[in-house]
Amino acid sequence: MDIRVCRNCRKMFQYITGPELCLQCKEAEEEMFQKVKTYLREHPGANMYEINQETGVSVKLIEKFLHDGRLEVSSHSPIVLTCERCGKQITTGRFCSDCKKEVSNEINKVKRMLVSPEKNESDSRPKMRYLESDKIK
């Protein structure tokens, strides 16, 4: 059983998976997301500050929804997101598709190396071995 402290309300809760939020804060965040989603359906060109004023959802939380990939910036939107790795303009998330592929390839390469490591030249040195005591004089 994993007990953690909610990053919003600072209450202790039993952590299962996902963001470190208690059940009440998760439900409140989901409710705010639904407010933003509904508002954007009715006002597709709105910026973050308009959404904040009309829904009461903080700009920081709206940005989190964008970075988590739950919302996407439209092509005519004044909101600009950039890839955290290369700086290219993106519509959702933290990384552009090229950087996602590169990072994924690097992770897979390291994973393969950990699963089946190749012998290094330094591994060719003699290993320790057990000497039987009756042979030692």
Determine which of 14-18, 48-52, 74-78, 80-84 has the lowest per-residue pLDDT on average: 74-78
- Alpha-carbon 58 to chain mean position: 20
Q: What is the pTM of this model?
A: 0.70
Query: What tens digit of pLDDT does each residue of 106-116 get?
Result: 999 998 888 87
Q: Report the chain's C-alpha Rg in angstroms.
A: 25
CB distance 69 to 93 below 8 Å: yes
CB distance 35 to 22 below 8 Å: no
Give the other-Cβ count within 10 Å of 48's Cβ.
22
Residue 7, both tokens: 């990053």
- Average per-residue pLDDT in the chain? 86
- As a whole number, mean pLDDT of residues 28-41 equals 94
H helices of 7-96, in order, are 23-42, 48-55, 59-67
Give the other-Cβ count within 10 Å of 10's Cβ.
8
Query: What tens digit of pLDDT does each residue of 38-73 get?
Result: 999 998 888 889 999 999 999 999 999 999 999 888
- As a whole number, mean pLDDT of residues 10-18 equals 90
| Phi-psi map region of 56: left, alpha, beta (phi>0 left; psi -120 to 50 alpha) | left
Q: Which of 12-16, 32-36, 87-91, 129-133 has the highest mean pLDDT?
A: 32-36
